[in-house]
Structure 1
Amino acid sequence: MVNRSLAFTVSAVFSLTTFLSACGALPGYSLNTSRLQDNDPTPTATYPVRLISADVILQQNRPATAAPLPPARFADPAQYVYRVAPQDIIGITVWDHPELTTQQGQTLSAGGNTTQTVAGALAQPYTTALPGQADPFGQTVSPDGTIFFPFLNKVHVAGKTAGEIRDQLAAALSPYLKKPQVDVRVLAYRSQKVSVTGEVKAPGPLAMSDVPLTLVDAITRSGGTTADADLQRVRLTRNGKLYQLDADGVLDRGEIDQNVMLQAGDIVNVPDRTDSRVFVMGEVKTPLPVSMMKGRLTIADALTQAGGILDTDANARQIYVVRGAREKPESPDIYRLDLTQPDSLLLSTQFRLQPLDVVYVGTAGSVQFNRLVNQVLPTLQTIFYLKQLTR
């Protein structure tokens, strides 16, 4: 009789399980896998694990190979000169000849209804390029690189410095004027620009002027960065090639070589910190992605921001760091930190994480057993109650 009762109980449980698995009206999500074909073989590769020690940290802190810098047109900022190009507006002064001189105190046409005084243009070498083309009081360099000047007709000025244009005009006016004294200045820089995009407060083009423009200058003139900016990985596109620069190194560590001089056509992009995250997972109080601050983050920083490890569930011997998900996903580097050792706390504050690292805290063996019991216990209770009902 007992065997028949037990057989009936098992049969009832099996029937109930089959019914519930086939019922599509149950609450919650349930994926129908009958149309999926999963033939992926079970991975058999093994990955070597390096125990984090003082030697590993010393090897990690060795200076890395510097990334290539973009080729510079001028080796030193003191060699920089601005050369006039089409759409620039220049002002010409011929002493004692006001009829040949750009009138001072008059308005400089900016196109449309916007005007700017000549004095204002001279006092603001960093002003945004004026949008207008025609100007009655300044000489706009035409697309063919020339300007019109009395007595001289067309004068080619493109590709020349203000000093070279001055000497050229003085020599050309000598047959008409006695010892002409000429001065030339650029009133509006409109031909050459650098584009600044990304996490800056005022993105847009910046006009090149007679003052050298560096990477930090461009970011500053764009209003500075936002709170999400990643200054350690500023991207510079020059002549179709992409370079990565560390503006944070310039500001914090005085790495002047990273503060490159910009040139016309450059595109500077200040990215956000999406690619500078570390993922903390496993037996921590708050699994979350942690953003690196100024490119620096240690295991201790990451675990602290995640609320620390769980006292009752975590295996303090299994603090893993998985690295290389982007460069070599098939053979990542794996490190392990044993927090039960006396020097582990110091090591956790010295081991530097890299972008997109995964910090995983393992589970204690007893906790895994308890979780298995918690999964099986409801089924055992169901069998027990059904057996009691069938008596």
Structure 2
Amino acid sequence: MLISRVLLLTFFMSALLSACGTAPGNFLDTSRLEDKDPTPTTTYPVHLITVDTIAQEQATPEAAQPLPPARFADAAQYVYRIAPQDILGVTLWDHPELTTPQGSTLSTGGNTTQTVAGALQQPYTQALPGQADPYGQTVSANGTIFFPFIGKVRVAGKTTGEVRDEMAAALSPYIKNPQLDVRVLAYRSQKIAVTGEVKQPGPLAISDVPLTLVDAITRSGGTTGEADLQRVRLTRNGKLYVLDANGMLDRGDISQNVMLQAGDILNVPDRYDSRIFVMGEVKTPMPVNMVRGRASIADALTQAGGVLDTDANVRQVYVVRGVRNNPSKPDIYRLDMSQPDSLLLSTQFQLHPQDVVYVGTAGAVQFNRLINQVLPTLQTLFYLKQLTR
């Protein structure tokens, strides 16, 4: 009888030791892993969130992003210069044979044209219907057009006024006091690209009207619900600039409404980089999107369903910041939500993108979880002892 009990005990112990190979479920065999990295021992200071902390945060705004270099100081100095592929119209009074035929179509700055009546009725935010380009003088690749009596006229890099004066002077030997007008019928040479979270992404033509950041977003149909206007990306001459269109619309920071130029790529990103991560003892750990670039601790905890009443330690609500830019030295803040004024402080402490909000675990809960882990082992040993009697 004793031998059978010993054999039975040996069987159970063997099965227990080899549980990783016989028990169902996922597991990782660490026998082939060599982990010699020591556990980090660096300590980080924790800043208690108080009224003074919030005042200091508000008095220290985020570093302003550099703005792209501007070709013109303001919109009043802007002039459009003709370039190859533009289509020009020339009007010479009392000489219809030298005048560009007055067609019924014109260009409004896009890659398409429409009738004059359609241009007046067309909503500013909608794309133009595709039609044929108007008949006129197309600027060749070498920057010239051909005109009777004058021959080739170099127009690239000049304004319509400069071209008008030069052509009038060149026609003076043939026509007495020529009355001449030059205009752009189709702006096809210069454009920008609008991509990302806009309703109508695509190219936009640069015309004689200055095109700004807000104009480009508006002409693209506006933004979608997932757009992050606080971090609009502008690529110019191989360099990336981040513009705060939301700050311009909310706070009137017109410096962000930069004037766009040919070759610019404007990208309106989604809110992926503006997320906040809520972890720990909350009902629904989840990433939280900032709304219009703002979110407080109260916003984050509310969207996560609130703290767990039975498990959370409300005196340990941590905010870990700066991990993305400086992962070796994060800034850590703690909010003691057991205090009467903590609810108000939670609504005033503004979070930054990529912040981590962590709600700690109560000490009694940690003890109970330890007991739940140890209890199955104790039960197994108890039953083994009963079997060996």
Q: TM-score, normalised by structure 2?
A: 0.91
SS of 1:339's partner is: coil
Q: Paired residue for 1:326, among 324, 327, 330?
A: 324
Unaligned runs of 5+ in 1: none
In structure 2, the residue matched to 1:51 is 48
1:136-174 CA deviation, whole Å, 9 max, x = no partner? Answer: x30000111100000001001111111111111111111
1:95-126 CA deviation, whole Å, 9 max, x = no partner? Answer: 110110011136789xxxx99567579878x9
Aligned length, in residue pairs: 382
Distance 1:118 1:284, change over 3 A: closer
Q: Is the 8 A contact 2:113 2:132 kept in 1?
A: no
Q: How far apart in 2 are the matches of 1:97 and 1:191?
A: 29
| Deviation of the 1:66 alpha carbon | 2.4
Q: How far apart in 2 are the matches of 1:145 and 1:354?
A: 51
Q: Paired residue for 1:278, among 276, 279, 294?
A: 276
Q: How far apart in 2 are the matches of 1:98 and 1:189?
A: 24
Q: Does 1:83 align with 2:81?
A: yes
Distance 1:120 1:195, change over 3 A: farther
In structure 2, the residue matched to 1:140 is 138
In structure 1, the residue matched to 2:243 is 245
Q: Counterpart of 2:318 in structure 1: which amino acid?
A: Y
In structure 2, the residue matched to 1:180 is 178
Q: How far apart in 2 are the matches of 1:76 and 1:60?
A: 33
Q: Counterpart of 1:16 in structure 2: which amino acid?
A: A
In structure 1, the residue matched to 2:19 is 20
Q: How far apart in 1 are the matches of 2:57 and 2:14?
A: 59
Q: Percent identity?
A: 71
SS of 2:18's partner is: helix
Q: Is the 8 A contact 2:278 2:286 kept in 1?
A: yes
Unaligned runs of 5+ in 2: none
1:262-341 matched pairs, under 5 angstroms: 262-341=260-339
1:216-235 matched pairs, under 5 angstroms: 216-235=214-233
Deviates more, 1:59-68 or 1:367-376: 59-68
| Deviation of the 1:274 alpha carbon | 0.6
Distance 1:333 1:168, change over 3 A: same
Distance 1:260 1:381, change over 3 A: same
SS of 1:92's partner is: strand
Distance 1:283 1:108, change over 3 A: closer
Q: Does 1:196 align with 2:184?
A: no
Q: How far apart in 2 are the matches of 1:195 and 1:291?
A: 27
1:49-96 CA deviation, whole Å, 9 max, x = no partner? Answer: 111111111111124442221111111111111110010001000011
Q: How far apart in 2 are the matches of 1:201 and 1:348?
A: 36
Q: TM-score, normalised by structure 1?
A: 0.90
Please, what is the CA RMSD of the aligned residues? 2.8
